[in-house]
Structure 1
Amino acid sequence: MLRKPFSVLVVIYNELEQFLLLQRADDPDFWQSVTGGIDHDELPIETAYRELKEETGIDAKALGIEIHAHHKTNRYQIRPQWLHRYEPGVTLNTEYVFSVQVPSNTPIQLAKDEHTDFVWLDKQQACERAWSPSNKEEIQAITIVEPQKC
């Protein structure tokens, strides 16, 4: 089944003001927060919880951790190498933005078919490493103590 052009972005951070970024398996230069397509029968918040668990092993519901909806969407051009996943003529994706704070000792278990590595970075480093402009912007928007500029 072809994907609908709707996805989630879940920015993960901890109390030490560090942000989690994941390295994509299909592009070693592409570092990102958790992302994923919204299934046909899912609400965006359900996708956020599912993708967080699938990509990092963090089961926020079981841990009693709330994922926060930012009530914001981003629209961006779908990368050419991913267009085959969508209906012909679809070129734009709508991304629903979420964030979640987890304890700094939270273990990370990557989905090896999607990501090969992860790193915790301070805000400035995360903004520099994140591949997509929308991911950089959403990391920048989160205020833990004092905001830093990218």
Structure 2
Amino acid sequence: MSIAYKIPESVLVVIYTPALDVLLIKRADASDFWQSVTGSKDAREESFVQTAVREVFEETGIDCGPDTPLANSLLDWQLENVYDIYPRWQHRYAPGVTRNTEHLFGLKVPAGTTVRLSPREHTDYQWLPYRQAAEACFSPSNAEACLMLPRLAAWAVQA
């Protein structure tokens, strides 16, 4: 029997409203960790966009897939972070894999968008103004993405 290791390629999706309030979700396996939607590719051939759409739906119940009202609201920010995998999650990756590449997306949703958490992954959620969201994030790359939101949201409008 082979072990299915996680692929060290993931997405970070900052979900936000027009007022730049950011959705943060609390991890079930680390109750002090607030974060945006994150997740690894299920297969090497899965695109980052496909991973983002899947993870947003799995973790929040928000559907931004093709042919949905939010399909054009998911934007690839064309940014990547490469970071050391946290020791507490190192066992999920193949031996010798110590770094992960995280691809960043933004998803603009209407204020009041319904959130339906996956209870095995997350226990709570909150909407916070982007600066407060950055302060609440456990991950430095997630905090940085929240702080870049005003610039990236303005860029998205021009694109």
TM-score with structure 2 setting the length? 0.87
Deviation at 1:65, TM superposition (A): 3.3
Return the match for 2:111 from 70, 81, 104. Answer: 104
User: Partners of 2:54 and 2:33 in 1: how far apart?
Assistant: 21
Q: Give CA-to-partner distance per residue, 1:65-113, whole Å, 9 cap, x none.
A: 3210011110111111211111101111000000110001210000100
Return the match for 2:42 from 39, 42, 64. Answer: 39
Do 2:20 and 2:129's aligned partners in 1 also have CA atoms closer than 8 Å?
yes
Q: Secondary structure at the match of 1:75?
A: strand
User: Partners of 2:69 and 2:93 in 1: how far apart?
Assistant: 34
Structure 2 residue 11 is matched with structure 1 residue 8: yes
For 1:27, give the aligned amino acid: A
Structure 2 residue 34 is matched with structure 1 residue 21: no
Tell me the equivalent position of 1:60: 64
Return the match for 1:115 from 122, 126, 130. Answer: 122
Q: Give CA-to-partner distance per residue, 1:51-77, whole Å, 9 cap, x none.
A: 000000000122333210011110111
Do 2:134 and 2:147's aligned partners in 1 also have CA atoms closer than 8 Å?
yes
User: Partners of 1:81 and 1:131 in 2: how far apart?
Assistant: 14
TM-score with structure 1 setting the length? 0.92
User: Partners of 1:8 and 1:98 in 2: how far apart?
Assistant: 7
User: Partners of 1:89 and 1:113 in 2: how far apart?
Assistant: 28
User: Partners of 1:76 and 1:105 in 2: how far apart?
Assistant: 33
Give the gaps of 5 or more residues in structure 1: 146-150
Worse-matched range after superposition: 59-68 or 122-131: 59-68
Do 1:11 and 1:34's aligned partners in 2 also have CA atoms closer than 8 Å?
yes
Give the gaps of 5 or more residues in structure 2: 155-159
For 1:138, give the aligned amino acid: A
Runs in 1 of length 4+ with deviation above 4 angstroms? none
